[in-house]
Amino acid sequence: MSYDALLWLSFGGPEGPEDVRPFLENVTRGRGVPPERLDEVEQHYQHFGGVSPINQLNRDAIKAVTAELDRQGVRLPVYFGNRNWHPMVEDTVARMAADGVRRALVFPTSAYGGYSACRQYDEDIARARASVGPDAPDLVKLRHFFDHPLFVAAFADGVRAAVATLPEQARQDWRLVFTAHSIPLAADAAAGPPEQGGNLYSRQVTEAARLVAAELGVDAYDVVWQSRSGPPQVPWLEPDIVDHLDALHEAGVTAVVVCPVGFVSDHLEVVWDLDTEARDRAAELGMAFARSATPNNDPRFAELVVELVREQTDGAQARALSTFPLIGCTANGALCATGCCEQPRRPAPAAEA
Ligand SMILES: CC1=C(CCC(=O)O)c2cc3nc(cc4[nH]c(cc5[nH]c(cc1n2)c(C)c5CCC(=O)O)c(CCC(=O)O)c4C)C(CCC(=O)O)=C3C
Ligand SMILES: [Fe+2]
């Protein structure tokens, strides 16, 4: 099949102090996130001058992918659009239509399934096309890549480099801890095509962790969660990374390497929740701590994206290290399967006092 552009579709983040509140309102509209949680997260962003690293990281990655497409002789202009902040995907798709793009591939900046990581990007695609109207290009989203050998290898090398930054006496005996964004248990239960039994998000994260650990030859490691949101009465995936550091300390662990396998770049939830909160807790506990790199700036990430593109444009072989079904590739916002990644019903708001 032939395509005339690639759309880089991401989450978006604020680029100055005045952007933070409206950005957070876009992210959480209709999601039942309590205002106290929003105030807290606003402070995390303001701590960095109201600028999330995510937009610049995406621009850097787009530059690398553009160069890699060029190197491989694939002629596709790359456009950039976000769900929650400028450049908004609706505006980008309008520009694509105006430029005469009829049919484009879409790279979502998430490797996983689940409502937030997969289906919500399909909704973004459908919403953007609807807002542009009949001239909107066809948009075909690329598949999940959590088990792609280039993704796994980039994380494994990141862990090796992180170990080298530990104090010398810690380098022989450290605990490997993988993290990903927590989601509500009900959302995880509903993740994936229903006939695959649910929990697709946590199962894919666990599989990616297993593959990275296997590449490193490490057989004892943990998979934990971070950045929990939502109302406190709703159960989310646990344990949280910070609580887990306490448990490891109790168990006598003196050094940890944290690998954020759930993310592709060092965006705010990595630089705050891991590099600030988790690192501070480790310091309080007297544990050596290193956080390994995400793949965004690794040349293999650009190669991975181009390989996913070529699966669609010239039938390149789909490489995957696990036996999970290859899914996530759908057109114009279609679901991966009927009933896939259904968004759980939100709890009724707490009664007013
Ligand atoms: C699975 C998952 C990923 C990974 C997949 C992917 O990458 O897409 C992810 C990524 C990200 N999450 C991000 C930021 C936020 N996520 C929030 C809230 C939430 N995330 C959720 C899940 C996920 N989130 C969920 C279930 C919520 C509750 C509200 C809801 O049901 O939707 C909130 C609201 C405030 C709060 O934290 O409570 C913010 C600000 C940023 C940008 C960081 C930056 O600016 O650099 C990124 C890349
Ligand atoms: Fe899905």
Task: List pLDDT tens digits, range 271-282.
Answer: 999 999 999 999
In this structure, the answer to whether residues 215 and 308 fall within a common structural domain is no
- Predicted pLDDT of residue 349: 53
Predicted confidence at residue 348, as pLDDT, reads: 52
Run of H or E including 226? strand 221-226
> Using CA atoms, how far apart are residues 62 and 56, in angstroms rounded to an integer?
10
The per-residue pLDDT for 346 is: 63
What are the tokens at 60?
């850097």
Whether residue 336 is contained in a domain is answered as no
| Candidate from 21, 119, 141, 181 with most ligand 1 atoms within 8 A of CB, to mutate | 181
Coil, strand or helix at 30: coil
CA of 124 to the centre of ligand 1 (A): 15
Residue 332 lies in a domain: no
Q: For residues 112 and 67, state if they share a domain.
A: yes
Block residue for tokens 């057109």: 331
User: Does residue 265's CB lie within 6 angstroms of at least one atom of ligand 1?
Assistant: no
Which of the two residues, 350 and 147, has the higher pLDDT score?
A: 147
Report the amino acid identity of residue 286: G
Look at residue 350 and tell me whether its pLDDT is greater than 70. no
Name the residue among 178, 189, 142 with its Cα closest to residue 312: 142
Considering the chain, what percentage of its residues have pLDDT values greater than 90?
Answer: 95
Residues 177 and 291 in one domain: yes
Q: Which domain holds residue 255?
A: 149-295
Tell me if 136 sits within 8 A of 129, measured CB to CB. yes
Task: Pick from 20, 24, 27 the residue to mutate for probing ligand 1's pocket: most ligand atoms within 8 Å of its CB.
Answer: 27
Neighbours of 28 (CB within 10 A): 18
Cα(248)–Cα(256) distance, rounded to whole angstroms?
A: 9
Please provide residue 179's backbone torsions phi and psi, each rounded to the nearest 5 degrees: -130, 155
What was the ipTM of the complex prediction? Answer: 0.95
Predicted confidence (pLDDT) at residue 351 exceeds the cutoff of 50: no
Residue 41 has pLDDT above 60, yes or no: yes
Tokens of 161: 């480099």
Q: How far is CA 41 from each of CA 228, 245, 279, rounded to the nearest angstrom?
A: 11, 21, 18
Cis peptide bond N-terminal to 260, omega within 30: no
Query: Tokens at residue 94, please?
Result: 């309008």
| Ligand (nearest to CA of 115) | 2
Of 56, 58, 78, 82, nearest to 66 by C-alpha is 78
Q: pLDDT, tens digit, for every residue of 316-326?
A: 999 999 999 99
181 known ligand binder: yes
Mean pLDDT of 183-203: 97
Mean pLDDT over 226-239 rounds to 95
One domain for residues 214 and 269:
yes
Q: How far apart are CA 142 and CA 104, in angstroms?
A: 10
167 CA to centre of ligand 1 in angstroms: 33
221-226 and 103-108 beta bridge pairing: unpaired
Which residues on neighbouring strands pair with residue 177, listed in sequence order? 222, 258
**In a shared domain, residues 82 and 162:** no
Residues 105 and 157 in one domain: no
338 pLDDT above the threshold of 60 = yes
- Specify the pLDDT at position 353: 37
pLDDT value at position 344? 73
pTM of the model: 0.96
- 325 occurs within a structural domain: no
Confidence at residue 274, expressed as pLDDT on a 0 to 100 scale: 98
Would the CB of 249 count as within 6 Å of ligand 1? Answer: no
In this structure, the answer to whether residues 130 and 184 fall within a common structural domain is no
pLDDT value at position 115? 97
Residue 352 has pLDDT above 90, yes or no: no
Let me know if residue 192 belongs to a domain: yes
Strand pairing of 5-10 and 138-141?
A: unpaired
The pLDDT of 23-47, averaged and rounded, is 95
Sign of CA dihedral 236, 237, 241, 247: positive
The model's pLDDT over 42-91, given as tens digits with 9 standing for 90+, comes to 999 999 999 999 999 999 999 999 999 999 999 999 999 999 999 999 99
CA distance 217 to 4: 42
Q: Same domain, yes or no, for 166 and 287?
A: yes
Provide the phi-psi class of 140: left if phi over 0, else alpha when psi is between -120 and 50, else beta. Answer: beta
DSSP string, 251-319: TT--EEEEE-TT-SS--HHHHTIIIIIIHHHHHHHT-EEEEPPPGGGSHHHHHHHHHHHHHHHS-----
Residues 153 and 291 in one domain: yes
Q: Does 209 share its domain with 277?
A: yes
Q: Does the Cβ of 11 fall within 6 Å of ligand 1?
A: yes
Based on the structure, what is the number of domains in the chain? 2
In the reported structure, the alpha carbon of residue 121 is separated from the centroid of ligand 1 by a whole-number distance in angstroms of 12
Residue type, 284: E
Q: Answer for the pair 194, 340: CB distance below 8 angstroms, yes or no.
A: yes
**Closest CA to ligand 1's atom 43:** 268
Same domain for 245 and 154: yes
For 250-261, how does the pLDDT look when each residue is reduced to its tens digit (9 = 90+)? 999 999 999 999
Which CATH number belongs to the domain containing residue 128 in this structure? 3.40.50.1400
* pLDDT for 295 beyond 80: yes
Res. 165: pLDDT tops 80: yes
% of the chain beyond a pLDDT of 70: 97
**The pLDDT value given to residue 347:** 56
Indicate whether 154 pLDDT > 70: yes
The length of the chain in residues reads 353
Based on the fold, state whether residues 86 and 76 are members of the same structural domain: yes
